[in-house]
Amino acid sequence: MSYAFITMTTDTGTIRATIATPTTKQQGITTALLLVLGLLSAVAPFATDLYLPAFPQMTTELGASATAVQLTLTAFLVGVTAGQLVFGPLSDRFGRVPPLIAGAAVCVLASIAAVLAPNIGVLIAARLLQGLGGAAGMVISRAVISDLATGKSAARAFSLMMIVGGVAPVVAPLLGGLLTGPIGWRGLLSIVLGLSVVMLVAVLAVIRETHLKEHRDALRAERRGSGSALRALRSRTFLGYTAVFGFAFAVMMAYISASPFLYQDMIGFGTVGYGLAFGLNALALMGVSILSAKLTATRSVTGVLSLGIVLVLASTVAFALLVVSGAPVIWLAVPLFTAVGSLGLVLGNATALALGAVPSAAGSASAVLGALQFGLAALVSPLVSIGGSDTAAPLAIVMLAAAVVAVVALLAARGRTSTAR
C-alpha cells in the first residue's frame, strides 16, 4: 500500500506532490549508508586520477605512445559519462539496487581485466567498461539520497557525502605519485580493483531498495497522464541548480588540472611543498563541507549555497586581479585556498536543490547532473594549459568564467523560485 503526501520545499519555493512508501521513509539515512554512498561516489573519481603519475612508466612497459596511454583516461571518462546516462534512467525504471549491483559487478570484472591487460588495446577497452560500471555508483548514490530525504536533510546528506566524493580527485594524484615507484601502474590499478570489490560487497551488505515497485508503478501511472519523465528535467529550477553544480565543479577541476604547473613551475614548490599545498586545500574542502551540513540545519539551503557561490566568485576575481597585476606568485595560493574551500558550501547544496526539483525522476536527473559534471571537467582540463606552464592567465580566465556562469545559473534558478512564490 502506498500513501500520497504533500511536501512543501521552502528552499525551492514550490509545493510538490510525490508518492512514497512508509518502508522507504522509515529506512532513513544511517551513518553506514552514508559512508557506503560516499564510497560509491568516490570510486570513479579515484580511478580517474590515481594512475596519472604512472603514465610515463606505462608507455615504456606497454610499448605504447603517450597518446595511446592518454586514451586509457579518455576511454574511462567516456565510460563514466555514458554509464551515468544509462544507469540513472534504468534505476528509475527497475529500482536502485539491481542496476547498482550490475554496475558494481561490471566494474570488478573490468578492473581485473585492466590489471592483467597484456597490451594497450585491452587496457583501453577495460578502462571503458570500468568507467561504465563505476558510473552506476556515482549516479545511483545521489538518487538514493533523493529517495530518502528532501530539503535540509538532503542538503546535509549530500554535503557529508561530498566530503568523500569531492576529496577523491584531490587525494588520488598525490597517492599515485607516492606509490608509482614501489608498486607500478598495475599495482595502482590493483588498488582500484580492491575498491571495486569493496563497492560490490558494500552494495550487497548495506544498500536496500529505496525506489520500491509500488512507488515506481504510481509514478508511471502519474506520467501516463502528464507525459514523459524527461519533461520534468526541462524545469528551469532543475537546470539552473544543475548548472550551478556543474560549473562550480569546473572551477575545482580547472584548479586540479593546473595545480602541478602553478605550485611547482611558477611558485617553485618542491614535491613535498606541492603535496602540502594540495592537502591543505583538500582539508579546507572537507572542513567547509562539514560546516555546510551544520549551517543548513538552521539556515535555508539556498542561502548557504548563495554564500558559497559569492565566495567562489570573489576568490576567482581576486585570483584574476593578482595575475593581471603581476603580484608575487606566492599570493596566488591564497584565493585558490578560499575558492576550493568555498566549494564545500556549493556542491552538496546544489545537488540537493537540483534533485529535489524533480523527485519523480531522481535517477534520470542524477544522470544529467553527473554527465554535465564530467563533460565540463573534460572540457576545462586542457584549456588551463593553453598558455604553457609559466603563466596562470588561462587558469584565471577559466575559473572566473565558470564562476560567472554558476552565478548566472543560480540567479536563473532563484528567479524561477521567486516566480513560483
SS (H, E, C) the chain: CCEEEEEEECCCCEEEEEEECHHHHHHCCCHHHHHHHHHHHHHHHHHHHCCHHHHHHHHHHHCCCHHHHHHHHHHHHHHHHHHHHHHHHHHHHHCCHHHHHHHHHHHHHHHHHHHHCCCHHHHHHHHHHHHHHHHHHHHHHHHHHHHHCCHHHHHHHHHHHHHHHHHHHHHHHHHHHHHHHHHHHHHHHHHHHHHHHHHHHHHHHHCCCCCCHHHHHHHHHHHHHHCCHHHHHHCHHHHHHHHHHHHHHHHHHHHHHHHHHHHHHHCCCCHHHHHHHHHHHHHHHHHHHHHHHHHCCCCCHHHHHHHHHHHHHHHHHHHHHHHHHCCCHHHHHHHHHHHHHHHHHCHHHHHHHHHHCCHHHHHHHHHHHHHHHHHHHHHHHHHCCCCCCCCCHHHHHHHHHHHHHHHHHHHHHHHHHHHHC
- CB of 59 closer than 8 Å to CB of 110: no
Chunk the chain into consecutive blocks of 10 residues (it has 421) and report each block's average pLDDT, rounded to whole numbers: 33 36 49 82 80 83 83 85 86 84 94 94 94 88 80 77 68 80 90 92 84 63 55 79 93 84 82 76 86 87 94 96 92 94 91 82 80 82 76 91 95 66 38
pLDDT for 23 equals: 37
pLDDT at 167: 66
pLDDT at 216: 58
pLDDT of residue 12: 38
For the chain, domains (ranges, CATH) are: 19-225 (1.20.1250.20), 228-421 (1.20.1250.20)
pLDDT score at 16: 36
The answer to whether 237 and 416 have CB atoms below 8 angstroms apart is yes
Query: Which residues lie across from 279 on neighbouring strands?
Result: none
